Structure 1
Amino acid sequence: MADIAFRRAMRADIPAIVAMLADDPLGATREDLSTPGAPAYQDAFSAIDADPNQFLAVMTLDGAVVGTLQLTFIAGLSRKGALRGQIEAVRVAAGHRSEGLGQRLFEWAIAECRARGCRTVQLTTDKSRADAHRFYDRLGFEASHIGYKLTL
């Protein structure tokens, strides 16, 4: 039986995380695999790591990083002051997809949100990711909102 573990990402994990983020048609246009140690990635990691409302997680399989996601804990007055957990940047390494690891990663993330007192767990997903939409539906998420972005 393989040893699966979840932990806070470390600076040494940045290249593996960037590689997973870049390993799909959308990510390939957004990430730069030639510079996973670039100052922009280092600065982003530092900001995430210093913020108590951020948790950049990695999933390891027998010690190797095979999955990642970022949890953001959002306090707000809406919904009677409910704390929300936001799941973003979810990836499983290409060689380990369709092995149930994505579900394990989400189960872990949802448990973390519950432990922090979140009353809602939410995520965004690109409209083109039909397979991901089916996966989120199977996990019990509902497509309840329309999201908008403004690139600056």
Structure 2
Amino acid sequence: MTRLPGPFQVVPYDRSRHADGPWRVVSAVFEEYGFPFAENDYDADVAWPDEHYDGRTGWFSVAEDTEGGVVGCVGLTDEGGGEYELHRLYVLSEARGHNLGERLCTWVIEAAREKGAERVVLFSDVHFAHAHRLYERVGFRANRFRYAPDPWRSREWGFIMEFPKDGTN
């Protein structure tokens, strides 16, 4: 595998520029781990981020290379009651090693704080141990286990980051 050299930037998703880039990123990572991935209602958010992350209750960003190609992605949704959820944090294997996962997490944390979040939650397949270490490094803590609402009933760890009312973290 040839590593991409960077630099990379995190920008809001734009259908006219990024097209099916998020779909290709998530599909490639699923293939890397031997997970099934197919177009269905559960995965429609990465096929059509602009429809599922509308800019009012959901936001989606991508990491792009110098040519504008999508090499990573992440989403954020307002779940109500001060809770926001991180979705779809994925980085292509050839773009790893440039802190893109951390930069995408930081984008989510900063966006949630700006929107007045009390906490951010996320769920991650039990096989993504490297991602779990990243989540803990940026301040999330593991707090539960669940079977995902996906067609495969994947096993997932849940993580949470809470923002104290006084604004410290």
Q: TM-score, normalised by structure 1?
A: 0.75
Aligned to 2:90: 91
Q: Would you say the 8 A contact 1:92–1:102 is kept in 2?
A: yes
Aligned to 2:37: 30
Aligned to 1:4: 9
1:124 aligns with 2:123: yes
Deviation at 1:89, TM superposition (A): 0.9
Answer 1 or 2: which has greater strand percent: 2
Deviation at 1:43, TM superposition (A): 7.7
Aligned to 2:70: 65
Q: Measured at CA, do residues 55 and 147 of structure 1 come closer, stay the same or move farther in structure 2, by a change above 3 Å?
A: same
Deviation at 1:41, TM superposition (A): 6.9
Aligned to 1:107: 106
Tell me the secondary structure at the aligned position of residue 112 of structure 1. helix
Answer 1 or 2: which has greater helix percent: 1
1:146 partner amino acid: F
Aligned to 1:79: none
CA RMSD of aligned residues (A): 2.7
Aligned to 1:52: 56
1:17 aligns with 2:16: no
Q: Measured at CA, do residues 133 and 105 of structure 1 come closer, stay the same or move farther in structure 2, by a change above 3 Å?
A: same
Aligned to 2:135: 136
Gaps of 5+ in 2: 1-5, 152-169
Q: Measured at CA, do residues 108 and 149 of structure 1 come closer, stay the same or move farther in structure 2, by a change above 3 Å?
A: closer
Deviation at 1:146, TM superposition (A): 2.1
* Aligned length in residues: 139
Q: Measured at CA, do residues 73 and 30 of structure 1 come closer, stay the same or move farther in structure 2, by a change above 3 Å?
A: same
Identity of aligned residues (%): 24
Looking at structure 2, the residues matched to 6 and 150 of structure 1 have their Cα atoms a distance apart, in angstroms, of 28
Aligned to 1:147: 146
Q: Would you say the 8 A contact 2:8–2:65 is kept in 1?
A: yes
Q: Measured at CA, do residues 26 and 135 of structure 1 come closer, stay the same or move farther in structure 2, by a change above 3 Å?
A: same
